[in-house]
Amino acid sequence: MEELVGLREGSSGSPVSLRELWGPYPRVRRGIRGGLEWLKQKLFRVGEDWYFLMTLGVLMALISYTMNFTIGRVVRAHKWLYREIGDSHLLRYLSWTVYPVALVSFSSGFSQSITPFSGGSGIPELKTILSGVVLEDYLDVKNFGAKVAGLTCTLATGSTIFLGKVGPFVHLSVMIAAYLGRVHTKATGESENKNKQNEMLVAAAAVGVATVFAAPFSGVLFSIEVMSSHFSVWDYWRGFFAATCGAFMFRLLAVFNSEQETITSLYKTSFRVDVPFDLPEIFFFVALGAICGILSCAYLFCQRTFLGFVKTNRVISKLLATSKPLYSALAALVLASITYPPGVGRFLASRLSMKEHLDSLFDNHSWALMTRNSSPPWPEELDPQNLWFEWYHPRFTIFGTLAFFLVMKFWMLILATTIPIPAGYFMPIFIFGAAIGRLIGEALALAFPEGIVAGGVTNPIMPGGYALAGAAAFSGAVTHTISTALLAFELTGQIVHALPVLMAVLAANAVAQSCQPSFYDGTIIVKKLPYLPWIRGRKISSQRVIVGHFMNCTITTLAKDTPLEEVARVVTSTDLAKYFLVESTESQILVGTVGRAHLMQALQAEPPSWAPGHRRLRDLLAGGCPTEPVTLQLSPETSLHQAHNLFELLKLQSLPVTSLGRAVGSVSWVELKKAISNLTNPPAPK
């Protein structure tokens, strides 16, 4: 019964209920209820763009911060063990080497036992997926746990193995985006939208970078440059919104945990702001970019060659096929033994972490000038206030240790990239480039101890600025990106070197892109992943290459007047997924495509009593066998550049070639790759 609260005024005693007392305006109540339902639907509808992207950014920030927190505890435990184990060189060596060897072995064995897709960076495979190729199970959520656990163990080895987390985090972010997309599809019952899925995957790639470096701008630009050949402006705000949510949450967690007083950059610098560099130094920054470009070409060539050697060598390939943890342990043992601090590691600043490497290299004081008249002692323990002491040795000097670091890390990085563990390779090359810039900056500071005179004013040279430019230039040249310049500014929180850093990055890319494919494209080549290469030659002669020169002329067509026994023979003797459907055998006018699976199903449904030669393919089509229209087709006169752009923009796998409506051939990735290869490396004349 409804609760009675009184009598209606002026009535003869009719009761008044609570609902009637507080609900005199049913139309208003219905409007409010409808508005709340609409707001609830918009806010809590899983898959709505804003909610989806915000959830993605927050989740990745939580994962990134939790991983950093765990890794920090494990690294501190390793340092404590190494420090407290005693003065025995054997025990200290074992504590230094066994720790990373065990972690790398577990990372390789655990991740590979769950799924083989969890190893490596993940960016080359993601580039392949975003180009339209389907890689089964690569974005499955079961890979997520294996990648997270394996990456945590990899990063817990510290600077011993010298690997990063950018690539795997891009892969993790894309996996979460794909999973949320599948949840949305199942919850709403909508059909899967490939275009919408690709939009979310590109935004997820930006989130992966933003939650590692707290750099939303460079994260979005990195996803544009690396992950996609054509970028839709409609995806721009998606990437920025998701990356901003992720970067903000990542730095906010550091404030909540009392690690920072406010939201700041990861690698704060104190470069001189009033006159950060003199005008003549622009020449040296451009020269630094050219040097980074040349060294990046050497690195890319050696890395791709060694990776191919590992895959083709009978002994190593067999070891990788049968026992990946053993190969990982052996490689980790070599790297850890070299970085042992009382040994060769003394000249490699091996006691510094990855963050401390950058903090020390970005120091704006000249180490060469500070050690010119004095020789600071090497501290028994790491001095957080004087990290640059790790780079100094009285016999080698600053230049000797920096040069030795570059020579050793050059091949150590190449060896580390062959270890089958979840790992990123951007941060190591970023530090390597910073060491190149630091070496050149120290040389200039020693050559011009008072600075370069410009306009009657003398300002000391800051080697830290050259380290920043070298880091951006070398990493940009290796990855073929310009966004590393912006990343350098977001990481340091200072933009005073904007012009020289950007010029160094452009110079490095000009050299690298003209000589070698990028790190990710080189990995795609070695792994033989299906990927459509760029047309590097943009000469006028390349515009004369047309589809008629390289199309596949031997195509299989099915005419509507083809007898069913001939259709059955074609279907059973070929393995094509689709066949071109033409109007008649004589005209060869293309009218559509028909799937092999549908044809086999329709042929099996035919009664066994039909007389041979009497029924045609048109009868099968009239009986309900589905066909698809051909909405896109090429002409034999279409240029190679136009066909390539069409394939990349629409993520196509193959297209028919017609002349006056007649099917005369087809073009797929195979023909395009061969044509591009012949354009880049013309065959020798017969």
Amino acid, res. 328: S
Residue appearing with tokens 């940009």: 476
Provide the pLDDT for residue 611.
56
Provide the pLDDT for residue 4.
47
Provide the pLDDT for residue 46.
45
From 246, 232, 243, select the one nearest 198 (Cα to Cα). 232
377 shares its domain with 476? yes
156 shares its domain with 292? no
Q: Which residues contact 517 (CB under 8 A, 6 or more apart)?
A: 300, 304, 480, 525, 533
Provide the pLDDT for residue 443.
92
448 shares its domain with 374? yes
Q: Which residues contact 270 (CB under 8 A, 6 or more apart)?
A: 364
**Residue 564 falls inside a structural domain:** yes
Question: Is the dihedral angle over the CA atoms 385, 386, 388, 391 positive or is it negative?
Answer: negative
76 shares its domain with 115? yes
Integer CA distances (angstroms), 444 to 293, 399, 462, in order: 20, 12, 9
Domain boundary among 46, 64, 79: 46
Domain boundary among 526, 548, 570: 526
User: Residue 165 is part of a domain; what is its CATH number?
Assistant: 1.10.3080.10
d(CA 130, CA 76): 39
490 shares its domain with 581? no
380 shares its domain with 423? yes
Domain boundary among 499, 526, 553: 526
> Buried b vs exposed e over 98-108: b needs ≥16 C-beta within 10 Å?
ebbbebbbbbb
Provide the pLDDT for residue 2.
46
Amino acid, res. 510: A
**Residue 534 falls inside a structural domain:** no
123 shares its domain with 36? no
**Residue 275 falls inside a structural domain:** no
Provide the pLDDT for residue 87.
79
**Residue 309 falls inside a structural domain:** yes
Domain that residue 16 falls in = 2-46
**Residue 91 falls inside a structural domain:** yes
> CA gyration radius for the chain?
32
Q: Could you tell me the mean pLDDT of each successive run of 10 residues in the chain, 686 residues long?
A: 49 53 59 72 59 87 92 90 84 91 91 79 86 78 86 89 90 89 74 74 88 88 82 76 89 80 76 76 93 96 92 88 89 93 88 89 87 75 82 84 94 92 92 95 88 70 91 95 91 86 95 90 87 68 79 87 84 86 87 86 72 73 83 88 84 87 88 81 56
User: Residue 649 is part of a domain; what is its CATH number?
Assistant: 3.10.580.10
Q: Which two tokens stand for residue 504?
A: 């160094």
Helix (H, G, I), strand (E, B) or coil at 661: coil
**Residue 261 falls inside a structural domain:** no
Provide the pLDDT for residue 404.
93
Length of the chain, in residues: 686
Q: Which two tokens stand for residue 153?
A: 């163990």
Provide the pLDDT for residue 557.
86
216 shares its domain with 146? yes
**Residue 577 falls inside a structural domain:** yes
d(CA 393, CA 375): 8
**Residue 273 falls inside a structural domain:** no
User: What are phi and psi for residue 557, nearest 5 degrees?
Assistant: -115, 155
Angle, CA 669 vertex, CA 664 and CA 671 arms, to 5°: 50
Provide the pLDDT for residue 335.
93
127 shares its domain with 176? yes
Q: Which two tokens stand for residue 272?
A: 């001189």
Q: What's the pLDDT tens digit per position in 31-88?
A: 777 777 776 666 555 446 777 888 889 999 999 999 999 999 999 998 888 888 877 8
Please state the domain count of the chain. 4
158 shares its domain with 146? yes
595 shares its domain with 628? yes
575 shares its domain with 513? no
Provide the pLDDT for residue 195.
72
Tally of CA atoms within 13 A in the half-sphere of 397 that contains its CB: 14
